[in-house]
A and B are shown apart, each in its own frame.
Chain A
Amino acid sequence: MTGKQHPFLLHQGLALLLAALALYALSTGPYPLAVGEILRFLAVSCGFGDMPAERQALLYNLLVEIRLPRVLAAMLIGAALAVSGAAFQGVFQNPLVSPNLLGVLSGAAFGAALGILVGGSWLLIQTSAFSCGIAAVVAALFIARSFGQGSLLLLILGGIISGALFSALLSVVKYTADQENQLPEIVIWLMGSLSGARLRDVLWLCVPVVTLITLLCALSRWLDALAMGDDEARALGVPVALTRYGVIGCATLLCAITVSLAGMIGWIGLFIPHVARLLTGPGHTSLLPASALLGAAFLLLADLAARCFTTQEIPIGIITELFGIPVFLLVLRHVRRGWNA
């Protein structure tokens, strides 16, 4: 395939596709705009040409204040989840792994529910989701380390235990919650939504997300060696423990950020890396950027569907699962090739 021989061209193509999708997403909504007008608004904002001040103010409100935060959030979260999924799969030497393996999503779900239970502000809910997500992974690593020398199997077991613990705690919170208001709020929150994205939050979160994705990309060659097995990676000169915990750390932070911004959005972390691998092959140097671009594009599409299919918005977590599953089944035939199963 051409993508495997010319990863750079493939990345450029995907980036163009993403840009086109973003423009389309900006133009779509209850008040449709022509793409040409968006481009003209951009030009005017950069100081080229002019348009009536009233029109410009309207477009500013519509594009920058209402639609841009969602479009940016969708791209950011899609990219973060896809890259963290690809990194988890590499570091655990297993293509069936999703970013929730070590319990980050379970922990974050509990944290968010707890925040809602105590009637906290939006910021408190976000912070609580983020920190409980990290806490769940730390618990998983701690369990694994207290039983052995950090073998893969024990890590996975630690993740299962920690994930189960936080799921149980989530149930406790749900049971305690007031059934009139809080319980529905928790349930809806857990289904994921981008409607709460504020421009300032999103712009601010761009920094850590882009930094973490870049860090993971910088480690790709070590990830390639690690995907072959621990002893081999070590013999190829790779600091195995440092790479493993570094990658787990970056990927976990990415996931926790997405949950705190938009709730639980499933499936992207599991299946986007598979689709990307079909295009680029398994080498992480080109797989990770391709996953980021594809994840961003997919979530952008899912968000479009979430806000345009019906008059009332559908939670985006439902859309990614409903659309992700058929896409995954479609590619499964080709994906299986590498598993030797």
Chain B
Amino acid sequence: MTRRLCAKGLVFRRGGRTILDHVDLEFGEGEILALLGGNGAGKTTLLRWMLGRLRPDAGRVELDGQPLGALSRQKIAAVVAYVPQAHIAPFPYTVDEVVMLGRLPHRGLWGRAAARDTRAVEEALRRMGIEALRRRVYTELSGGERQLVLIARALAQEARLIVMDEPVSGLDFGHQTQLLMCLDDLAAQGIGILKTTHHPEHALFVATRVALLENGAIQQDGAPAALLTPERMEQLYGVKVETLTSTSGSKAFVPVFQRTG
């Protein structure tokens, strides 16, 4: 069975303001769905609701056709993982310990670490190419390394679907591209990814689908090449945009810089 996470008519209001307005969004195994939208469009809020944070004001989120509210947190966690922006944890956990947290839905509160938990952690570290970091302290790593550790935790969780909040934010030029390749790799191995991004090019590189979020509503949802046009970008971000095509065929969006004086 392929796993699907799916929001249906999601509405969320706070203080008289509608943050999410009848949002329909779904993704499944093997897909990379990129969620684009300006600051304050509601991207992060939508991610949180896709993870079943609280009860929405209307609509629901379903995992394989079952409402999240009807499933235990542990059941959800065995399928869906969350990768936040690389953050600074308050306590000096080692990389091993952080990744082992991913086994929590499988081990439960009291289960001892079994051989298969240790194996899953090792496998996750290997797949992300960070075995060498395993004894290091998470808080002392660079932002790029921390992001890889958090993805490794999602892999150790054996999640089939991963929700990521701006996975490349704070990474340098090279690490951004390496991370995109890594996401591409994961999707090829059948993992489904929903990620928010501020980089339309990144969506062109790796996304299999793009959803544009504006004023708390999904304006369009479809193939990256069809949706990511200069006109749409201008509408979404409110600046003039040109498209460049490199000799190798990659496209880039360039904002037209206008001096105001």
Contact = CB atoms under 8 A, between A and B. Distances in A.
Interface of A: 90, 93-95, 149, 218-219, 221-222, 224-225, 227-229, 231-232, 234-239, 277, 281-283, 337-340
Interface in B61-86: 72-78, 80-82, 84
A94 B73 contact: no
A338 B139 contact: yes
Nearest to B81: A235
Given A231-B48, A231-B84, A236 B109 contact: no
B243 to A, nearest CB: 36
B222 interface: no
15 contacts: A149-B54, A224-B97, A227-B89, A229-B89, A231-B48, A231-B82, A234-B53, A235-B51, A235-B163, A236-B105, A236-B157, A237-B105, A277-B91, A281-B92, A338-B137
B28 interface: no
Contact of B84 (A94, A222, A232, A338): A232
Contacts of B73: 234, 237-239
B130 interface: no
B97 A281 contact: yes
B139 A339 contact: yes
A224 B97 CA distance: 9
B109 A222 contact: yes
A238 B82 CA distance: 13
A232 B48 CA distance: 10
Nearest to B111: A221
Contacts of A239: 73
B30 interface: no
Contacts of A222: 104, 109
A340 B139 contact: yes
Contact of A225 (B72, B101, B163): B101
B10 to A, nearest CB: 17
B94 A236 contact: no
B43 to A, nearest CB: 14
Interface centre among A149, A219, A237, A277 (most CB of B within 10 A): A237
B91 A235 contact: no
A236 B53 contact: no
A235 B82 CA distance: 6
B107 to A, nearest CB: 8
Contacts of A235: 51, 76-77, 80-82, 163
A221 B94 CA distance: 15
Given A235-B77, A337-B137, A229 B87 contact: yes
